[in-house]
Amino acid sequence: MSNDSACLYIVSTPIGNLDDITLRAIEVLRRVDRVVAEDTRHTRRLLDHLGIARPMLALHEHNEDDATARVLSLLETGESLALVSDAGTPLINDPGFPLVRACRERSFKVVPIPGVSALVAALSVSGLPTDHFRFEGFLPRKQAARMAQLQSLSHGPATLVFYESSHRILATLEDMVEVFGPQRIGVMARELTKLHETVKSAPLGDLLAWVEADENQRKGEFVLLLAGTETAGDSVQISTDSLLRTLLEEMPLKQAAHLAARISGGKKNLFYQRALEINDD
């Protein structure tokens, strides 16, 4: 039996390095009546590593309604439970929001046991301003929707933070270069706290070329961060695409690509490629 009944603990777990768990998280996982996990096999490995054996219940995106109802009924009986996800902080791009909302509506105690999140870990080492950031989670999988989402974010002072997977890292960087231009500073934080941890900061065009050239840089888990633009009034904002389109109306393709590169400080070959695409449209 727990000594804090009818309570839901939101427990952060590691994002790679198993030592990144707090003493309090271990104590709570040991003490609760049940652990509610996104993937029980995955969490079982963590609990085994910690020498903890507790009954478990699965709550993931495919059973969230049913599992939420079951957790609420267990709380009604006075059980205390710990919600964990596969990695990092539950609810940060992970299941659990309907459960926490329902608990609060029913006045069950919900207690945070804070710890790691890839979002904060990446931001803290990015070298980008952290006083004002915007977390976007995963971008849409379909390119048209992804481009539209990026367009909607292209201006603003906040540092932008995205999660990305190995399947789409290249396509996303390509789209970012197109929308934000090759000169916008990006940071790629890969495999944080793991063996191949890499944090690279560079203009987006260089970041893309680096990832294209080295397939190892496309493996693992990623947080992508983009520098914000200066606030309106401090500078005139112009998208490199619209600059190129305007120049193409006035002069031959090669000249337009060279001039756009000179004005923006970007790479000539990237503008040349983009000019060819625009002409093909």
Binding site for ligand SAM (CB under 6 A): 15-16, 85, 87-89, 92-94, 117-119, 163-165, 189, 191-194, 221-223
Closer residue to ligand SAM (CB): 1 or 142: 142
| 18 or 145: CB nearest ligand SAM | 18
Shortest reach from residue 91's CB to ligand SAM, in Å: 7
First to last CA, the chain: 67
Cβ closest to ligand SAM, residue 33 vs residue 221: 221
The smaller minimum CB distance to ligand SAM, of residues 47 and 256, is found at: 47
Residue 258's Cβ-count burial label (10 Å; 0-12, 13-18, 19+) is middle
Smallest separation (angstroms) from ligand SAM to the CB of 135: 10
Element (H, E) at 250: helix 240-250
User: Quick one: CA dihedral 91, 97, 99, 102, positive or negative?
Assistant: positive
Q: Are 45 and 137 in contact (CB under 8 A)?
A: no
CB-wise, 93 or 151, nearer to ligand SAM? 93
What distance in Å separates the CA atoms of residue 106 and residue 169, rounded to the nearest whole number? Answer: 41
State the nearest-atom distance from the C-beta of 206 to ligand SAM, in Å.
20
Nearest distance from residue 111's CB to ligand SAM, in Å? 17
Strand ranges for 89-132 from DSSP E: 109-113
The residue number whose beta carbon is nearest to ligand SAM equals: 88
Shortest Cβ distance from residue 13 to ligand SAM (Å)? 9
Q: Which is nearer to ligand SAM, 87 or 179 (CB)?
A: 87
Angle at 87 between CA 174 and CA 62, to 5 degrees: 85
CB atoms within 10 A of CB 281: 5
Query: In the bound complex, what is the minimum distance in angstroms from residue 128's beta carbon to ligand SAM?
Result: 16
Residue from 22, 21, 31, 24 nearest 54 by CA: 31
**Which CB atom, from 88 or from 205, has the smaller least distance to ligand SAM?**
88
Nearer to ligand SAM by Cβ, of 79 and 94: the residue is 94
Mode of pairing for the β-strands spanning 34-37 and 81-84: parallel
CB of 110 to ligand SAM, least distance (A): 17
CA distance linking residue 177 with residue 175, whole number of Å: 5
Handedness of CA 228, 155, 119, 10 (dihedral sign): positive
- Characterize 23-41 residue by residue with b for buried, 16 or more Cβ atoms within 10 angstroms of its Cβ, and e for exposed: eebbebbebbbbbbbbebe
At closest approach, how far in Å is the CB of 115 from ligand SAM? 9
